[in-house]
Every structure is written in structure tokens, then in C-alpha cells.
């Protein structure tokens, strides 16, 4: 693992892909990336689960990555979501991401096909052998239908190019039980906002965060408190954010975070079918969770429907 990746830690935003009239809202996207960078986010993930990669065309994927790279200007790494359940397609998308200037690829375990552990290993092996781009393995069994076993992760860590793991299992105990060699070889990122505090207090490197779209400064502060040893402050920030974390999981991501951004920045809450916008009940819970947060209450890009926005 290179020194560059040893330094990658903290709050990383799993970026939404804003839509407007059914198309990618490039102005809204670029403004959102600028906001993340301004508030100290360590990196951004484009075209991941939160970015609705499953319903983006190849051309839209290219455009989203291009715009993120353009705005980031190498000030923060851009991590492109390139994983699919077809190894050949994953290689193609990862190659394209590198060509577009991405700093790394986030590759989800092959979904729906339900490959064996050997199949999972060979999938990643084929990608890193074909493309010279750092790869973060993404384990999210609740969505993919397969779990990357600890022994398989140990094998993957030996592959040149595999630099990290996004652990979205929600099982902090699993991370604690990881072998010392795995902890030393890979950057470990929590893939769940609700487990960000315990995961990182126990030695994790950071969080690939959904909530950071709307509260980047608070997520950065949370991780700063953890890395500087101020556990009391970290717990206090986490407690402030917990109602938002819960509200953002009421329905399938990214519907809830897109509604939060609608309140905070006036972006469209639209998601693409088969996903749907949030229910009135979830919308009310999100609104209630955002109102006490000074970061979103005091800013200047307020939606006409609610005086809430990200700090500028």
C-alpha cells in the first residue's frame, strides 16, 4: 500500500447524483462537490450506491466522474464506483475511470450471481491485473447477496492494487476480529454512518458516509475528534447526528439523503425507478432531524420550502 493511501482517512462522501427533469443535474453536482471540498472532506465517491450507479448509463457515468475530477482538481481523491456483477464490464468501467482521472475504484462484490468465495477472489484478481488503479473492496451483503468472508479478504489483501475495504456489514465485532496483518495492509472504512463512531474508535481509518452529503462539516469534526483522541467530543457529535443517521435509513438509500439535500440545498429529491421518493412520514422525520443542526440551519442556499441549507 502506498504512502498516499496510508494518509487517506476520515470522512469520505458517498456522493449522490442529482437529477433535474430526468437528467443528471451537472450544476447541482459540481456545486455539491465544491461544498464537500470546502468543508474538509477527505475524498469523494462518485457513481457508488448512493450515486445510483445501477441506473446511470455509461455516458452518464463518464460525465459524473469527469465533473467530479474537474472540480476536485486533485485537491481531494476521487474514488469511482466501478463494480458490477460482470467481471468483464467491471474491468471496462475501471479502465475508463482511470482514463478519466479517478484516483481509485470502489468495487462492490458481484451481486445477484451469488459467486463462491473463489469466484469473488478471481473477480477482484482479474480487475487489479487488468487495470493499474488502486481498488477499495466493497462488502455490502445486504445489497449484494454475498458476503466476502474474512479469509477471502485476507487473500485479496495480498493482491497488488487492493488498498482498502469498505465494510458495510454493520458488524464492528467483525472488524475487531480481523487479523493484525489485514488491519496493517488495508485501509478500513465503515460503510455505515451509525457505526462510524465505534468502528473508528476501534482503529478504523474513516467512514464512507451518506450523511456527509448534507452535514460534511459535522462528519469531518467527528473524525477529527476521533483521530485526536477526544472521544468525549466524538460521542457528543455522534449523538447530535444520530437522529439524522436513523432517518436516512428509514427507506432505501439514496431516497432519504436526496430529500435531505432538497431541504438543505434545493436539489431535486428525485430518484430513478425502481426507487421512489420518500414517504411523507420519512420526509417529516428527516426534516425534524435536520432542524436542530446548526450546520444546515444557518446557511445561505435555503430551499424556499424550508430555511435549511449547508453552510457556505
In contact, 7 and 46? CB cutoff 8 Å: no
Cell 472504512 appears where? 189
Q: Which residues define the annotated binding site for pyruvate?
A: 50, 208
Q: Report the alpha-carbon distance of residue 39 to residue 241 in Å, rounded.
A: 17
3 alpha-carbon distance from chain centroid: 22
Please provide the DSSP assignment of 133-191 as one string: S-EEEEE-HHHHS----HHHHHHHHTSTTEEEEEE-S--HHHHHTS-HHHHHHSEEEES
Residue 21, Cβ density class (10 Å: 0-12 exposed, 13-18 middle, ≥19 buried): exposed
Give the Å distances, CA to CA, from 173 to 139, 144, 203, 258.
Answer: 15, 21, 12, 31
Query: Any catalytic annotation for residue 166?
Result: yes
Choosing from 166, 183, 258, 259, the catalytic residue is 166
In contact, 193 and 211? CB cutoff 8 Å: yes
Choosing from 138, 183, 258, 259, the catalytic residue is 138
In contact, 175 and 191? CB cutoff 8 Å: no
Q: Which residues define the annotated binding site?
A: 50, 208
Query: Any catalytic annotation for residue 138?
Result: yes
Annotated catalytic sites, by residue? 138, 166
Amino acid at each position: 500500500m502506498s504512502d498516499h493511501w496510508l494518509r487517506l482517512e476520515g470522512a469520505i462522501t458517498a456522493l449522490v447524483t442529482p437529477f433535474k427533469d430526468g437528467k443528471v443535474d451537472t450544476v447541482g453536482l459540481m456545486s455539491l462537490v465544491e461544498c464537500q471540498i470546502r468543508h474538509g472532506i477527505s475524498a469523494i465517491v462518485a457513481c457508488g450506491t448512493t450515486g445510483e450507479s445501477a441506473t446511470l448509463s455509461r455516458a452518464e457515468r463518464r460525465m459524473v466522474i469527469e465533473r467530479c475530477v474537474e472540480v476536485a482538481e486533485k485537491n481531494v481523491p476521487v474514488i469511482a464506483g466501478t463494480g458490477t456483477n460482470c467481471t468483464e464490464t467491471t474491468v471496462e468501467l475501471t479502465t475508463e475511470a482511470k482514463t478519466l482521472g479517478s484516483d481509485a475504484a470502489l468495487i462492490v462484490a458481484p451481486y445477484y450471481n451469488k459467486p463462491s468465495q473463489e469466484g469473488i477472489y478471481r473477480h477482484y484478481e482479474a480487475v487489479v491485473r487488468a487495470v493499474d488503479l488502486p481498488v477499495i473492496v466493497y462488502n455490502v451483503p445486504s445489497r449484494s447477496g454475498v458476503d466476502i468472508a474474512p479469509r477471502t479478504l485476507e487473500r485479496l489483501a495480498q493482491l497488488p492494487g487492493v488498498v482498502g475495504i469498505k465494510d458495510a456489514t454493520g458488524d464492528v465485532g467483525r472488524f475487531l476480529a480481523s487479523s493484525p496483518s489485514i488491519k496493517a495492509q488495508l485501509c478500513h472504512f465503515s460503510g455505515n454512518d451509525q457505526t462510524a463512531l465505534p468502528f473508528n474508535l476501534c482503529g478504523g481509518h474513516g467512514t464512507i458516509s451518506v450523511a456527509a452529503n448534507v452535514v460534511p462539516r459535522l462528519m469531518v469534526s467527528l473524525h477529527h475528534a476521533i483521530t485526536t483522541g477526544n472521544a468525549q467530543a466524538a460521542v457528543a457529535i455522534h449523538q447530535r447526528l444520530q437522529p439524522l443517521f436513523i432517518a436516512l435509513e428509514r427507506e432505501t438509500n439514496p431516497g432519504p439523503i436526496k430529500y435531505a439535500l432538497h431541504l438543505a440545498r434545493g436539489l431535486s429529491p428525485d430518484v430513478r425507478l425502481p426507487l421512489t421518493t420518500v414517504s411523507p412520514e420519512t420526509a417529516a422525520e428527516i426534516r425534524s432531524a435536520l432542524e436542530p443542526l446548526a450546520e444546515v440551519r444557518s446557511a445561505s442556499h435555503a430551499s424556499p420550502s424550508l430555511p435549511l441549507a449547508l453552510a457556505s
